[in-house]
Every structure is written in structure tokens, then in C-alpha cells.
């Protein structure tokens, strides 16, 4: 079975609006993440145009590659940015990006050329994930064949309400811990997941902090979720308390 896309057990999201609201320097944030052994990470910048987004990615990649690393992580010596929405930018600049994340509205409007780009990212070993918000969307995404395989991960949420998606077209009520654990533990998923050479990954997102992640992890463990790798994604809480996340992850390793 292949190595996980998120070896640190966490999917950190660098939201530039959230950094600005906290007077945080994105450079310093990613350098801290690398020292903690994290990566890859998503770059979320809803207020930037494609050219500005590409320039920011080039800058962050240069800082990432030249920075001191903490622990062994294959993403520390290669492009570690997962683009949010900017598919063509990620496709053109694989020297800065390792993959792409697409929301539901993005997927519904992909052109045939963009579908080819997405397939090429996956077929070349890149990371590609999508958002889902219901049990049906989650199952359908796990069944989809994108590229020669399928999605690298499928994100499900929001688990809790969050202020981080105020500029997003994908607005949905919080699912809650029990509903999320029910969806990922659905026995019907066994037919979808069994026999795969690569273990499927569910990224759980929405208002998560270390305490909420602990509660969610315990809920899924009670339901014996075995065929999915569960990874928390976090925006605000990795900006406000990266060390707390690191302690929580080390305590569960």
C-alpha cells in the first residue's frame, strides 16, 4: 500500500484572508509547519486572481524548499502546495504545486480541457481532492474514476460551523460528529473500498481543533471505521495553535 498523502496525519490549510485578519505572515506560518514535520498544505486565497495566486505560490515554494525541516517527510524536498480552485495554475506550475482541491461548484463547471488537466495531475502522481457535504456526495466521490484511479482524498464537511468559508459558493449546515461518523462508517462503503491497493482517505473539515478532532476520532473508532484513513483538515486552529495540534497528533501516533 502506498505512503499516505498526509504523513503528518493533518491537512493544514493556509488561508491568506485568515492570516491577514490575525496579522500573521504566511511565510512564518509555513516555516513553522515544516519544522513541525507537516506537509503538504493547501493554499486558499479567495481574494486573489490567478496571476497573483501563482506569484504567491512561487514565493511560498521558494521559502519552503530553503527552510529547515523537522522530521522525515517526503514533501519537505519537493513542491508541497495543494491549490484551492486554481486548476490551470496548478497544472501549469507543477514545480510549485503538488496537487489541486476542487469544490462541488468547481466540479460542476469543468470544461473538457480542465477535465484533462485534472486527469493529468492524478496520472502523474499528483494529489487531487474534492469537497462533499452529504452521504450521497461522499459515496459518489469515492466511486468516481478520475484519471486512471480516482480522487487522492475526498473531503467531507463541515463537521462544525466555521467562519472560514464566508467567501465560498459551497455553503452547507454543519453535519455534527455523529452524522459524520455515520457517513464514514456506512457498511455500504465496504463494496466501494474493498480490494483497493491504495487505501482511500477521507479528509474531515469544518471548525476542527484538537479537542473536537479527538471527539470525532473517538466517535469513528466506536463505529469501527477500518477501510478509510481519516485525516483532519484545519484552517483557523492551525494558525492559532499549531503546537496544540502537534501534541494531539503525537499523542495518537
pLDDT tens, residue order, the chain (253 aa)? 467 899 999 999 999 999 999 999 999 999 999 999 999 999 999 999 999 999 999 999 999 999 999 888 999 999 999 999 999 999 999 999 999 999 988 998 999 999 999 999 999 999 999 999 999 999 999 999 887 789 999 999 999 998 765 445 556 899 999 999 999 999 999 888 887 777 899 999 999 999 999 999 999 999 998 889 999 999 999 999 999 999 999 877 5
Residue 253 included in any domain: no
pLDDT at 171: 62
Long-range pairs of 160-167 with CB within 8 A, sequence gap ≥ 24: 160/206, 160/207, 160/208, 160/212, 161/206, 161/207, 162/206, 162/207, 162/235, 162/236, 163/236, 164/13, 164/15, 164/18, 164/235, 164/236, 167/17, 167/46, 167/47
Q: Which residue has the cell 477501510?
A: 227
The answer to the question of residue 16 being in a domain is: yes
**How many domains are contained in the chain?**
1
What's this model's pTM, rounded to 2 decimal places?
0.95
On whether residue 32 sits in a domain, the answer given is: yes
What's the domain range around 81?
11-248
pLDDT for position 170 = 58
Cα-Cα end-to-end distance for the chain: 19
- 1 lies in some domain: no
- Predicted pLDDT of residue 229: 94
Please report whether residue 86 resides in a domain.
Answer: yes
The reply to whether 3 falls in a domain is no
Q: Which residues have C-beta within 8 Å of that of residue 168, sequence separation ≥ 6?
A: 46, 103
- Could you tell me the CATH number of the domain that includes residue 149? 3.20.20.70
Contact 59, 179 (CB under 8 A): no
**In-domain check, residue 5:** no
Amino acid at each position: 500500500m502506498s505512503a499516505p498523502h498526509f504523513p503528518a496525519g493533518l491537512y493544514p490549510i493556509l488561508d491568506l484572508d485568515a492570516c491577514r485578519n490575525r496579522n500573521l505572515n504566511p511565510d512564518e506560518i509555513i516555516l513553522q509547519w515544516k519544522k513541525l514535520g507537516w506537509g503538504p498544505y493547501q493554499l486558499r486565497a479567495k481574494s486573489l486572481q490567478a496571476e497573483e495566486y501563482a506569484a504567491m505560490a512561487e514565493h511560498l515554494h521558494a521559502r519552503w524548499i530553503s527552510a529547515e525541516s523537522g522530521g522525515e517527510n517526503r514533501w519537505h524536498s519537493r513542491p508541497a502546495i495543494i491549490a484551492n480552485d486554481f486548476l490551470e495554475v496548478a497544472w501549469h506550475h507543477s514545480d510549485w504545486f503538488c496537487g489541486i482541491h476542487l469544490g462541488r461548484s468547481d466540479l460542476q463547471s469543468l470544461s473538457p480541457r480542465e477535465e484533462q488537466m485534472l486527469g493529468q495531475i492524478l496520472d502523474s502522481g499528483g494529489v487531487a481532492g474534492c469537497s462533499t457535504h452529504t452521504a450521497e456526495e461522499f459515496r459518489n466521490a469515492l466511486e468516481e474514476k478520475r484519471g486512471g484511479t480516482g480522487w487522492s482524498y475526498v473531503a467531507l464537511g463541515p463537521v462544525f460551523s466555521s467562519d472560514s468559508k464566508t467567501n465560498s459558493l459551497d455553503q452547507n449546515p454543519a453535519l455534527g460528529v455523529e452524522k459524520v461518523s455515520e457517513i464514514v462508517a456506512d457498511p455500504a462503503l465496504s463494496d466501494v473500498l474493498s480490494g483497493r491497493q491504495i487505501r482511500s482517505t477521507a479528509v474531515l473539515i469544518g471548525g476542527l481543533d484538537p479537542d473536537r478532532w479527538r471527539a470525532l476520532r473517538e466517535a469513528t473508532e466506536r463505529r469501527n471505521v477500518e477501510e478509510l484513513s481519516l485525516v483532519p483538515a484545519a484552517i483557523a486552529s492551525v494558525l492559532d495553535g499549531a503546537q496544540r495540534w502537534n501534541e494531539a497528533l503525537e499523542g495518537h501516533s
